[in-house]
Amino acid sequence: MISNHLSLVEQLRPRSSELADQVEQYLAAGGKIEEAEPYNYKPKPISYSNQMPPAPKPFVRRRVEAPPPPPTAFDARQQARERLVDQVRRLSSTHPSGSCGSHRHQQEGYLQHRQRA
C-alpha cells in the first residue's frame, strides 16, 4: 500500500512544483499571504463515569381497534324484515277495520275504505 501512495506522490509532483513556483512569483511581486487566527473550538472532554446508562423504555405496542366486519347478507335481510314489520305496524294502526277477528269483515272495511278514497 505504501508503494501505491509513493507512486501517487510522484505522479502529482509536477503539479506541486508548479504551485510552488506560482506562490514564489506572487510573493516576489509584493504579494502577502495572511494567516487567520486560530479558531478557539475546544471539544467537550469525554467523561468516563461509573454510572450505568439509563435503561431503555420497553416497547409497548398500541392496540388498534379492528374495524367492524362488513355487513353480511343475513344482516341485510334482517334489517329489511325489521323495516317491513315497522311499516306494517304503522299501517295497521291506521287501517279502518281495526282489530276485528273476522276476515270477511276486514275485507268489507277495506273495500269501504277504498271506495271513500
pLDDT averaged over 10-residue windows placed end to end, the chain, 117 residues: 70 93 94 86 80 83 84 84 90 68 58 60
In a domain, 2, yes or no: yes
Judged by phi (left if over 0) then psi (alpha if -120 to 50, else beta), residue 51 lies in beta
Which grid coordinates belong to 6? 509513493
- Domain carrying residue 18: 1-30
In a domain, 50, yes or no: no
pLDDT for 5 equals 63
In a domain, 93, yes or no: yes
In a domain, 21, yes or no: yes
Judged by phi (left if over 0) then psi (alpha if -120 to 50, else beta), residue 53 lies in beta
Amino acid at 49: S
pLDDT for 30 equals 92
In a domain, 56, yes or no: no
Buried-state track 28-58, b at ≥16 Cβ within 10 A, e below 16: eeeeeeeeeeeeeeeeeeeeeeeeeeeeeee
In a domain, 16, yes or no: yes
> What's the total number of domains in the chain?
2
